[in-house]
Amino acid sequence: MARLKERIAVVTGSSSGIGQGIAARFAQEGARVVINYIGDADGADQTLDTIRKAGGEGVICKADVTKMDDTRKLIDVAWQTWGGCDVLVNNAGMEKEADFWEVTEADYDKVLGVNLRGPFFLTQYFVQKLLAAGKPGRVINISSVHEDMAFPGLSTYCASKGGIRMLMRNLAVELGPKNITFNNIAPGAISTPMNASLLNNKAELDALLENVPLGRMGTVEDVAGLAVFLASDEAAYVTGSTYVIDGGLMRSYHEQ
């Protein structure tokens, strides 16, 4: 049974990795999907191709989530193409590694811009459209275990993900009365291009997997299954929560 029949969704950063997996899975479950990219047009084409081969519907929209006009375009494309938008997945993200004392203002602005400012104003526009139409909606943010867990060398990333945790909680309270729900998915280590250097370094990978009770990296399909649940009718009473999907990483502690 298609769990997202009649749903219309925008998935940011769906040209690669987790976003690509969510867009494909949403379409498999009957949703119509706006596929978003910023640089990887081939990746977006690949997502659309996968969706079409499975008999689904999608449309590609190039948009930089840090730019206000672009964020409006993403939601407007859904309304113009299919007459609405029910689900927003704020997935686009990036990280820049640096010791805290060496972080540049430009890198701070870039990481916070994509991971926090972008979702903030994209969500704002999505909510404005829903309120004007008197419709319910779902917002799913792909945050990270680092919305909660420290990671030295990634202070900008952690600050952005911690910010989106609190934004999600605040909006769940503020917009619950309008039947708009907000939840975060907090992945641990997932096999995607973002982790390319880790995946190519056996010693580092083995050390990480030592800390993962389930003993493997997560897959984009693992994450997509959870996103389907949060976008479906089954999650109608779920709001204000973070769903950790990390193979047990956050609960694992080893004495050296």
Largest CA distance in the chain: 57
d(CA 32, CA 254): 44
d(CA 114, CA 204): 27
Q: Give the interface with ligand NAP as residue ranges (CB under 6 A).
A: 12-13, 15-19, 36-40, 43, 64-66, 91-94, 114, 142, 144, 187, 189-190, 192-195
In whole angstroms, how close is the CB of 220 to ligand NAP at the nearest point? Answer: 7
**Residue 72: how many other CB atoms lie within 10 Å:** 17
Cα distances from 40 to residues 19, 118, 153, in angstroms, run: 13, 18, 27
Nearer to ligand NAP, 200 or 256 (CB): 200
Q: Which residue has the tokens 């997932």?
A: 190
In whole angstroms, how close is the CB of 105 to ligand NAP at the nearest point? Answer: 18
Nearer to ligand NAP, 137 or 187 (CB): 187
In whole angstroms, how close is the CB of 80 to ligand NAP at the nearest point? Answer: 19
Nearer to ligand NAP, 91 or 232 (CB): 91
> Letter for the amino acid at 193?
P
Nearer to ligand NAP, 177 or 215 (CB): 215
Instruction: Give the strands of the sheet with 241-245, arranged side by side.
Output: 57-62, 32-37, 8-11, 87-90, 137-142, 180-187, 241-245
In whole angstroms, how close is the CB of 57 to ligand NAP at the nearest point? Answer: 20
As annotated, the active-site residues are 157
Q: Is-contact 122 71, C-beta < 8 A? A: yes
d(CA 48, CA 57): 8
